[in-house]
A and B are shown apart, each in its own frame.
Chain A
Amino acid sequence: DAKTTQPPSMDCAEGRAANLPCNHSTISGNEYVYWYRQIHSQGPQYIIHGLKNNETNEMASLIITEDRKSSTLILPHATLRDTAVYYCIVRYTGTASKLTFGTGTRLQVTL
């Protein structure tokens, strides 16, 4: 699986959009970009994933650049409950594929 690079930490004011970047310059054509988050003392929670096109669901939006070498997770209106570690993962979805978690970005949402 391709490696990813994320900033170690970010701050965001409550109510504002949180934009979390991820670089995955060695991604290959059959690898998806996944985002998970881990709120303190809980298991990781799936947020969203995509291959080429931008994706949106009830939690977030995922913007993938045209060359697919980077992506941005957008939480449109961050709340205090969005404070967590956010993991960007690139995953090949063939047989026996696996999620490999990096160090992620610690997002702190403040009043």
Chain B
Amino acid sequence: DTAVSQTPKYLVTQMGNDKSIKCEQNLGHDTMYWYKQDSKKFLKIMFSYNNKELIINETVPNRFSPKSPDKAHLNLHINSLELGDSAVYFCASSQGEGNSPLHFGNGTRLTVT
């Protein structure tokens, strides 16, 4: 069973469109994250939710809106997509915010044309 699963795996869309990426974890964790890995392979945190509450929001444009309907899901909605949004987006989860390790999904490769 996949612990952290993301859909879709690949997403190709045009500038200006709105798209969503879904993430689900079956580990029973209470904290979930979104990370972005750009073309230079830098991996940066975007958001973190703990028990459905936003706890980290790194200077991300407000076109990006995470939504956590329950502890097991953290979706990422992106409005008015831009070329610079092209990247691989990784979802992750952990138990609590302490030293519990993060479990990552296998990413969603977003290409904006």
Interface of B is mostly: strand
Count of A-B residue pairs with CB < 8 Å: 54
Partner of B56, one of A43, A46, A98: A98
- Given A43-B4, A44-B43, decide whether A97 and B97 contact each other with a Cβ distance below 8 A: yes
Which of A17-25, A66-74, A75-83, A99-107 is near enough to bind chain B?
A99-107
Contact surface of B with A, Cβ cutoff 8 Å: 4, 33, 41-45, 48, 55-56, 90, 92, 97-99, 101-107
Question: A91 CA to B99 CA in the complex, in Å?
Answer: 8
- The answer to whether B41 touches A85 (Cβ under 8 A) is yes
- The answer to whether A95 touches B41 (Cβ under 8 A) is no
- Given A43-B4, A44-B90, decide whether A99 and B45 contact each other with a Cβ distance below 8 A: yes
